Amino acid sequence: MRLRLWIRRIGAIFGTVVLGALIGFLVPTIAAEYSPRHQEPLRTGVAQSTQNSELPIAREFINAFVANDQVRLKELGADEVDTVKANDLAQQVHDVSQPVLLGSIGGPGISIQAYASVVTMNDGSQTILSWRVATNSGRAGLIPQPQGLDPKP
């Protein structure tokens, strides 16, 4: 009889310790998982994440595109549409400034970079042109610009 009493007491103590350890582990883990994440405030002039980093292949492609370097575009694997667009751009503008990276977004194996530069047209006027370069598994190409809205609905 006494043995059963001691086994019950030891079992109750062991059960209490195990239950306390389980609750002591699970409650903080669940609370940490479902609590909101604290984000650092944005600092200007500093790259915030790797998503805003520029791929070298995209930079080479856009530099060759605005310079109408047909040989380099072919080396980078540009298709015929992109080389024709580079030729059209060279005929329509007098001077193109160095393209500036506006931003980038990407996922596994694919990314999109947006570039813009100030161009001087053949008639002397200046405007800003922008391009989007998509890279897919190390190959770059232009994404066609969306059509503008019709001013007359």
69, 138: one domain: yes
Over residues 99-131, the pLDDT tens digits come to 999 988 887 878 999 999 999 998 989 999 999
73, 19: one domain: no
Residue 117 lies in a domain: yes
Residue 148 lies in a domain: no
81, 59: one domain: yes
Residue 129 lies in a domain: yes
Q: What mean pLDDT comes out for the span 43-48?
A: 44
Overall domain count for the chain: 2
The span from the CA of 42 to the CA of 16, in Å, is 47
How much is the pLDDT for 147?
Answer: 73
How much is the pLDDT for 87?
Answer: 92
Over residues 46-89, the pLDDT tens digits come to 444 444 578 889 999 999 999 999 999 999 888 899 999 999 99
Q: Are 138 and 57 in contact (CB under 8 A)?
A: yes
- Greatest alpha-carbon pair distance for the chain in Å reads 108
CATH code of residue 125:
3.10.450.50
Domain that holds residue 12: 1-37
* pTM > 0.75: no
